[in-house]
Amino acid sequence: MSQPIKANREAPHGASPFMKAKSKLAWPEMGFAVCLLMIAGVLAFAVSSISATVQYSRVGPQAFPIVMISALMVCGAAFVWQAFKGGWRNAEEREEVDWVGLALVGLGIIVMSYSMRIIGFIPAGSLLFVMVAAGFGSRRHGVNILAAIILTTVVYIGLTRGLTISLPEGPIEHLFSALR
Amino acid sequence: METFAALANGLNVALQPINLLYAFIGTMLGTAVGVLPGIGPALTVALLLPVTAKVDPASAFILFAGIYYGAMYGGSTTSILLNTPGESASMISAIEGNKMARAGRGGPALATAAIGSFIAGTLATLGLTVAAPLLVEVALKFGPAEYFALMVLAFAMVSVMLGNSTLRGLTALAIGVMLGMIGIDLQTGQARFTFGVTELLRGIDVVVAVIGMFAVGETLYAASRERFIKEKVEAIRGSVWMTAQDWKRSWKPWLRGTLIGFPLGTLPAGGAEIPTFLSYAIEKRLSRHPEEFGTGAIEGVAGPEAANNAAAAGVLVPLLSLGLPTSGTAAVMLAAFQQYGLQPGPLLFASSPDLVWGLIASLYVGNIMLLILNLPLVGLWVRLLTIPKPLLYGGILVFACVGTYAVGQSTFDLIILLLLGILSFTLRRFDFPIAPVIIGLILGPLAEQQMRRALAISQGDASVFLTHPLAASLLALAVVSLLAPLVLKLWRKPRQA
């Protein structure tokens, strides 16, 4: 799995003498807990709109989700309580976030999603590649553009010719089919 | 003996030239993704699912198995030389391994990891060969009630064992199950949680979910931290080979690691993290050089690495004989079986013996390939670590988008991909484990199906889960494993006060 986990397993509650000192409301955790509760609320509303059809099994499509939504609500309430007691995150998760980098990666996917059908896979994929590279702080845009075009072209030809998977076509891709 | 005749048949399948080629490609790819930070075996198999749709299932699973085992080998290389685990189960090896590399003993560290992985992998595959048919015998007695109880147990143990807190594990699992509920309910044809969006009617595809949660989530997380971190790749100095002393200090940890890893891997608890932690703790206690721990003790690499690979084989036991995935990668493999219209479980051993035994036999073959690939060629893999991060993650996202688009030829899926990535990033920032989300997404709908089936048979009488002794004991185990950490915590509290 690609998710590195932390070496120090969570210390048991009340184990550290510092726990009492920082028994302050943790705002990020509170925000998270409230969001979770709101989502659970919306889901509960959505469950109630599934029309109840009495079935032979007597367990309709609502039963299982109701259990899960209840679990989410109980957990959400517990997180609210934990947030009041100072939150649960350790130093690693409290570290700074590079919002510009994050936004560039996210925007790249949105741009890819909306432009792919119009300008074709190779330019749209290259755009995504360059935006992600910029999000990771690369300033060598020329090198990135070149790498992006080579990669997307190889992927395009490999998948469409080798594996007959169809990818969106634009002017450049039409050129490839014309050359065929 | 029946088992070994079946295995011999499997070897016949695995040794066909085309399947040897698939095993080779799988082990190469697996090692590469294990080495590279940001991509793991679950993601790689998911990305390959649309691509392999037209390949013969036996060959496809030989490819996937190669990736799965390969990633376990490759992960250790990264944790030893970079101190950033390529995959989470290699985290412990980073503690001692990286210290060894800094002290110029990177070669022996890599060697003990590779040889230990080979020995543990081979022994544990042998365990899988013996244990899987035995479990099949038990599984044949299972009805829907027992399957449901087993899945509830898996839910409970996954919540407890993956990540740092039961509460957060449970939340991640419930989020995953709810994602799995989106779409048309197969039994009644009713739309659930689609909020009027037509594209959601067919549900969230497992491939899209895995790519979003792992690839996009990981990329977002890495992008948010890239400006603030400095990494250094340790060069391999000195001899790659282990001295007589190294061998002497390694062989017992290898065997102990195997003994810890395999049984724990077969439990419906998931993942290889716990066995590696355990193995490390035991080696530290048993070592004649406890003072070396923390400064580069070879036992601290040999044991956990063996445990890691043995557990990886153990995870395949419940997957193949019960159809129960207990790790992220196993969940994706289950999705792969479903893609071919196959249902892993006792019946698969009877209906597609070539596939099951070909897969198991290929694990032996793959292990030998991996030993050869990893020892002399380690220098080549290390070069992968020098790929600049911007280019690496740019490439990962291009592949992520291609894989997502290939699933349903839909650009809407890319938006789902981004939303899942943001969800994964948020969970990560709040110290929630990601693997339970994927397990819930895949196992949730299956558990619901078994529950409704059981209740249909009993004509709605819920006591069916308590009157079947096997189902009742599995459910009791689930309750115990959920409550045990809580009780321990409450019991410990007054003593510290």
Q: Which amino acid is at B439?
A: I
CB B192 within 8 A of CB B181: yes
- Strand-pairing partners, residue B191, are B184
Angle (CA) A99 A100 A104, round 5°: 115
A110 pLDDT higher than 80: yes
C-alpha distances out from residue B347 to B136, B280, B317, Å: 8, 38, 14
DSSP characters over B256-287: HHHHHHHHHHHSTT--SHHHHHHHHHHHHHH-
Tell me which DSSP letter residue A95 carries. S
Residue A133 C-alpha, separation from nearest chain B C-alpha, in angstroms: 4
Q: How far apart are CA A153 and CA B161, in angstroms?
A: 43
Position A9 confidence tier, pLDDT thresholds 50, 70, 90: very low
**Do the Cβ atoms of B89 and A1 come within 8 Å?**
yes
pLDDT confidence of residue B159: 84
Q: How far apart are CA B157 and CA B160, in angstroms?
A: 5
Taking only residues 26 to 45 of chain B, the set having a beta carbon closer than 8 angstroms to any beta carbon of chain A reads 37-43
Residue ranges in chain B whose pLDDT is less than 50: 497
**Do the Cβ atoms of B190 and A53 come within 8 Å?**
yes
| A57 and A121 assigned to the same domain | no
Taking only residues 69 to 98 of chain A, the set having a beta carbon closer than 8 angstroms to any beta carbon of chain B reads 69, 71-72, 75-76, 78-79, 88-90, 93, 95-98
C-alpha distances out from residue A108 to B118, B194, B388, Å: 41, 26, 19
Is residue A167 situated within a structural domain?
yes
**Do the Cβ atoms of A46 and B192 come within 8 Å?**
yes
Output b/e per residue, B424-449; b: 16+ Cβ within 10 A: bbebbbbbbbbbbbbbbbbbbbbbbb
CB contact, 8 Å: B497 with chain A? yes
A16 pLDDT higher than 50: no
Q: How far apart are CA A52 and CA A54, in angstroms?
A: 6
Is residue A169 situated within a structural domain?
yes
Angle, to 10 degrees, between the axis of helix A121-135 and the axis of helix A99-119?
A: 180
Query: Which residues of A fall within a CB distance of 8 Å from B36?
Result: none
**Residues in CB range of A140: below 8 A, 6 or more apart:** none
Is residue A13 situated within a structural domain?
no
| A120 and A172 assigned to the same domain | yes
SS (H, E, C) B155-184: HHHHHHHCCCCHHHHHHHHHHHHHHHHCEE
Tokens of B51: 């691509």
Query: Which residues of A fall within a CB distance of 8 Å from B393?
Result: 105, 132-133, 135-136
CA B140 to chain centre: 25
The count of domains in chain B is 1
Is residue A142 situated within a structural domain?
yes
Nearest-by-CA chain A residue for B68: A1
Is residue A52 situated within a structural domain?
yes
**Do the Cβ atoms of B431 and A58 come within 8 Å?**
no
| A113 and A160 assigned to the same domain | yes
Tell me which DSSP letter residue B243 carries. P
| A143 and A104 assigned to the same domain | yes
CB contact, 8 Å: A175 with chain B? no
pLDDT confidence of residue B157: 84
Domain-terminating residue out of A94, A124, A154: A94
pLDDT confidence of residue A105: 94
CB contact, 8 Å: A116 with chain B? yes
| A76 and A107 assigned to the same domain | no
Quote the domain boundaries for residue B360. Answer: 2-496
Q: How far apart are CA B323 and CA B326, in angstroms?
A: 10
Nearest-by-CA chain B residue for A3: B88
Between B241 and A124, whose confidence is greater? A124
**Do the Cβ atoms of A88 and B220 come within 8 Å?**
no
| A69 and A131 assigned to the same domain | no
C-alpha distances out from residue B199 to A48, A50, B295, Å: 21, 18, 54
**Do the Cβ atoms of B175 and A10 come within 8 Å?**
no
pLDDT confidence of residue A10: 41
Cβ atoms < 10 Å from Cβ of B307: 38
| A120 and A54 assigned to the same domain | no
The count of domains in chain A is 2
Quote the domain boundaries for residue A121. Answer: 99-179
pLDDT confidence of residue A6: 40
Helix, strand counts (H, E) of chain B: 22, 2
Residue with the two structure tokens 């957990």: A75
Taking only residues 22 to 61 of chain A, the set having a beta carbon closer than 8 angstroms to any beta carbon of chain B reads 28-29, 32, 36, 43, 46, 50-51, 53, 55-61
Tell me which DSSP letter residue B405 carries. H
Query: Which residues of A fall within a CB distance of 8 Å from B459?
Result: 56, 58
pLDDT confidence of residue B266: 85
Q: How far apart are CA A15 and CA B492, in angstroms?
A: 9
| A111 and A171 assigned to the same domain | yes
Position A96 confidence tier, pLDDT thresholds 50, 70, 90: confident
| A167 and A111 assigned to the same domain | yes
| A87 and A112 assigned to the same domain | no
The residue length of chain A stands at 180
**Do the Cβ atoms of A125 and B418 come within 8 Å?**
no
A17 pLDDT higher than 80: no
Among partner residues B85, B394, B414, which is closest to A4 by beta-carbon distance?
Answer: B85
Q: pTM to 2 decimals?
A: 0.86
Nearest-by-CA chain A residue for B270: A1
Assign B16 to helix, strand or coil: coil
CB A25 within 8 A of CB A83: yes
Q: How far apart are CA B79 and CA B93, in angstroms?
A: 6
Tokens of B351: 């209906």
Give the helix/strand (H/E) hosting B192.
strand B191-192
Among partner residues A1, A57, A110, which is closest to B455 by beta-carbon distance?
Answer: A57
Residue B1 C-alpha, separation from nearest chain A C-alpha, in angstroms: 36
Is residue A113 situated within a structural domain?
yes
Among partner residues A2, A58, A129, which is closest to B43 by beta-carbon distance?
Answer: A2
pLDDT in tens, B460-479: 788 888 888 889 999 999 99
pLDDT confidence of residue B88: 63
C-alpha distances out from residue B493 to A22, A85, B164, Å: 19, 16, 18
Tokens of B367: 């292990």
**Do the Cβ atoms of A95 and B444 come within 8 Å?**
no
pLDDT confidence of residue B173: 93
The residue length of chain B stands at 497
Between A113 and B38, whose confidence is greater? A113
| A69 and A103 assigned to the same domain | no
**Do the Cβ atoms of B91 and A4 come within 8 Å?**
yes
Domain-terminating residue out of A42, A68, A94: A94
Query: Which residues of B fall within a CB distance of 8 Å from A130?
Result: 394
Cβ atoms < 10 Å from Cβ of B51: 18
| A79 and A121 assigned to the same domain | no
Among partner residues A10, A95, A109, which is closest to B228 by beta-carbon distance?
Answer: A95
Domain-terminating residue out of A41, A61, A94: A94
- Strand-pairing partners, residue B184, are B191
Cα torsion angle, B273, B277, B278, B280, sign: positive
Is residue A22 situated within a structural domain?
yes
Residue with the two structure tokens 């893609």: B339
Query: Which residues of B fall within a CB distance of 8 Å from A68?
Result: 174, 177-178, 181, 444
Q: What is the ipTM of this complex?
A: 0.85
